[in-house]
Amino acid sequence: MRLKLKLKTVFVLYFMVSLLGLVYALMQLGQRCDCTEHDIIKDRTISRLRGDLQKLQEEVKRSDTTKAPKKTHLPTIYVITPTYARLVQKAELMRLSQTFLHVPQLHWVVVEDADQPTALVRNLLAESGLTYTQLHILTPKDRKLQEGDPSWLKPRGAEQRNEGLRWLREMGSASRGQHGAAVENAVVYFADDDNTYSLKLFEEMRYTQGVSVWPVGLVGGMRFESPVVDGGKVIRFHTGWRPNRPFPIDMAGFAVSLHLVLTNPDAVFDGDAQMGFLESSFLQGIITMEELEPKADMCTKILVWHTRTEKPKMKREDALQKQGLGSDPNVEV
């Protein structure tokens, strides 16, 4: 409020100077004047106004420097995102980063499926304005999907999520002494780079004590999959496929307290898990269904959607490349 008043004062001063100058000029029309005396008065006025302006600027600067830095007591949300090189990778990560910019106290852990970190991801993260960590680990060849394989044939991103968990445990172990409370209260979420997230979702998960859960839209060949809640407790899951799984839940449908991750060092994702059991391989060793914390208005609101970007068709690009007229490969897409 004080800053707005100071700026208003400056604008008023400029307006007064302009108005006085105009009136004086009109009064002098048609009259002979002593230019020397006129210049002296003008110089004195300008000098005085400059002095007033400088004082205002110094006062504003002092006010800014004496402001206490903003402190936040919000628990940190560590978001682990596996990613891999493909034509739409930058577009996916860019869109996701724009969402995360609106979430306070978020630390983005991006884990590349690569034998070394790439410049594309490094530059995107550096320009994102987010607090981030860039990691990388290559998926073994026998665990990778081959050309033409259906997306459900093998679990994807297990090694990358485990690498993110490894980093969190190392960070947590090193920080327990100095920042113990902040680490203990933090939350871990696994966010794929092609999903769609409501900002409300992150505030729902922020105060997770163990494992919090909520519905996921457009997943499993259904409008949504969801925990079913009765009396404030999760009693089963609404899903169309293998409801007898230990935890028939999508990766986007739960968050875990960092405390739980740190106190269960052997909890990881099994890269050899059969289809649909990747989430269960991590959760079944750290939580029971009765202990799950239902969020999103007792699991009645959809705040995340399992969307997928259509693979771009490059027929014209391929044709032009054969003619030597393809798009400049040095332009990063």
Return binding residues. Answer: 82-84, 113, 156, 161, 192-194, 306-308
Which of the residues 279, 290, 293, 317 is marked catalytic?
279
Name every residue whose Cβ is closer than 8 Å to that of residue 287 and which is 6 or more positions away in sequence.
Answer: 210, 211, 260
What one-character DSSP code corresponds to residue 105? S
Would you put residue 210 in left (φ > 0), alpha (ψ -120 to 50) or beta? alpha
Please state, in angstroms and as integers, the Cα–Cα distance from residue 164 to each residue in 111, 168, 171, 330, following that order.
7, 6, 11, 31
* Distance, C-alpha 121 to centroid of its chain: 14
Burial class, 255, CB count within 10 angstroms (exposed 0-12 / middle 13-18 / buried 19+): buried
Which amino acids are annotated as binding site for UDP-alpha-D-glucuronate, given as ranges?
82-84, 113, 156, 161, 192-194, 306-308
Give yes or no: 279 in active site.
Answer: yes
Which amino acids are annotated as binding site for Mn(2+), given as ranges?
194
Helix axes 89-100, 119-126, angle to 10 degrees: 20
H-run or E-run covering 120:
helix 119-126
Closest to 166 (Cα-Cα) out of 269, 250, 272, 286:
269
Closest to 76 (Cα-Cα) out of 4, 166, 147, 179:
179
Strand partners, 109: 80, 133
Q: Which residues of 191-208 are buried (b: 16+ CB within 10 A; e: fewer)?
A: bbbbbebeeebbebbbeb
Catalytic (active-site) positions: 279
